[in-house]
Amino acid sequence: AQSVTQLDSQVPVFEEAPVELRCNYSSSVSVYLFWYVQYPNQGLQLLLKYLSGSTLVKGINGFEAEFNKSQTSFHLRKPSVHISDTAEYFCAVSENDYKLSFGAGTTVTVRA
């Protein structure tokens, strides 16, 4: 069975600093990986997804993530954050194109 662990529940960061959100998954088969963002009082929005091919995936709003099969990780990064990046971020995994399993989320708070 698939599962996702987000290693940090809260990440405070200063504006214009880099940020990395860590995600590890467990699965016995091939997986697809996703990062979603949830801004305050809004629904979830897809940031990026890894289906196949290049292990470095670029998404919206300057975010990117790297799939590492040997370490079963899919960490999300942004080189310089803005106040508007304050949100909750969810990593999700899918086995064989079946349903999504979400992690518990990481709350990113960007301070000036």
* Contacting residues toward another protein, per CB under 8 A: 4, 32, 36, 41-46, 49, 51, 90, 92, 94, 97-105
d(CA 4, CA 43) in angstroms, rounded, equals: 20
Nearest to another protein of 103, 110 (CB atom): 103
Residue listed under structure tokens 């304050």: 86
Cβ-based neighbours of 101, under 8 Å, separated by 6 or more: 2, 3, 4, 92, 93, 94
Work out the widest C-alpha separation in the chain, in whole angstroms: 43
- Tell me the closest approach of the beta carbon of residue 12 to another protein, in angstroms: 17
| CA angle in degrees (0–180, nearest 5) for 13-14-19 | 45
Least Å distance, CB 61 to another protein, is 15
Nearer to another protein, 15 or 49 (CB): 49
Q: Which is nearer to another protein, 24 or 94 (CB)?
A: 94
Considering the complex, state which of residue 41 and residue 70 has its C-beta at the smaller distance from another protein: 41
C-beta of 17: minimal distance to another protein in Å? 26
Q: Which amino acid is at 13?
A: V
